[in-house]
């Protein structure tokens, strides 16, 4: 697994714009080399801020949106169209404005979807999403999920990523790729989430954090904490692990961990 690399921007708006430009470049490179690209989206203010910046970027037209697979790292287990669902917010920020192939957009199941299969059952919804991921994995993918080109994660003030919260059972999962999350300390309490094994199958993992409320979590995760106590510490890509921060989120990092310059 790759060692963390840090990029610190002066302000969260600059971070969102630079991350959007970086994502466009990564998608275009993957499409040029393999014909398609796969990205795992994250919700929250930083994930949605990146999508909004991407929507406003003139370079977004360099992406062949019809050859892009979109997945989600986690989802609030709420009814379809609920404004708090990550997919609802992503559609408003970007997805409805670009010509995606609907068959290549893979939202996690909603609480009112699936009929008797998983309606109201987050664990069954997680199993269904795991099957969808496994069906998309190639023969060279050994983790039961595709080798995502970029998997993005917001970092919570408590160091959670996706819906993997400190000390809860989901962060201890070592075999399943997707799990139902119950009793999450952040509402809503019921969620669906990728696990660390699925996250660590991605070629690149990007962790996004902006604001003073994230500074403590960033410092803990990058200072040798264990992944059970600090899930963000366990999020790593096979080729690259990139922390994209603003100056406020990086303010508690030891000087020896900081990059030589702030973008």
> For 102-144, how does the pLDDT look when each residue is reduced to its tens digit (9 = 90+)?
999 999 999 987 654 455 699 999 999 999 999 999 888 878 9
Question: Where do the structural domains in the chain lie, given as residue ranges?
Answer: 4-257
Render pLDDT for 5-51 as a digit per residue (tens, 0 to 9).
999 999 999 999 999 999 999 999 999 999 999 999 999 999 999 99
**Whether pLDDT at 157 is above 80:** yes
This prediction's pTM: 0.95
Closest CA to 106 of 84, 137, 82: 137
pLDDT in tens, 222-233: 998 999 999 999
**Distances in Å between the alpha carbon of 67 and those of 73, 104, 124, 140?**
20, 8, 29, 20
74-92: per-residue pLDDT in tens? 999 999 999 999 999 999 9
11-34: buried (b, 16+ CB within 10 Å) or exposed (e) per residue?
Answer: ebebbbbbbbebbbebbeebbeee
Q: What is the CATH number of domain 4-257?
A: 3.40.50.1360
């Amino acid at each position: 697994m790759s060692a963390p690399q840090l990029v610190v921007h002066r302000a969260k708006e600059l971070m969102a714009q630079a991350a959007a430009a970086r994502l466009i470049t990564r998608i275009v490179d993957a499409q040029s080399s393999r014909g398609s690209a796969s990205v795992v989206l994250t919700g929250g203010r930083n994930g949605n801020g990146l999508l909004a910046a991407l929507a406003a970027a003139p370079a977004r037209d360099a992406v062949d949106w019809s050859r892009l697979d979109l997945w989600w790292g986690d989802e609030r287990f709420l009814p379809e169209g609920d404004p708090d669902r990550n997919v609802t917010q992503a559609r408003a920020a970007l997805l409805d404005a670009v010509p995606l192939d609907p068959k290549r957009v893979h939202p996690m199941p909603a609480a009112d979807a699936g009929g008797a299969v998983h309606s109201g059952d987050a664990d069954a919804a997680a199993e269904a999403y795991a099957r969808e991921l496994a069906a998309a994995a190639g023969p060279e993918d050994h983790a039961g999920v595709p080798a995502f080109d970029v998997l993005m994660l917001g970092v919570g003030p408590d160091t959670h990523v996706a819906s993997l919260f400190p000390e809860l059972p989901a962060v201890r999962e070592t075999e399943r790729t997707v799990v139902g999350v119950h009793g999450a300390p952040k509402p809503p309490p019921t969620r669906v989430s990728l696990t660390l094994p699925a996250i660590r199958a991605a070629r690149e993992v990007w962790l996004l954090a902006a604001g003073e409320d994230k500074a403590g979590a960033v410092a803990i995760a990058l200072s040798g904490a264990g992944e059970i106590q600090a899930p963000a510490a366990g999020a790593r890509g096979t080729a690259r692990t990139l922390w994209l921060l603003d100056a406020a989120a990086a303010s508690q990092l030891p000087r020896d961990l900081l990059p030589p310059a702030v973008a």
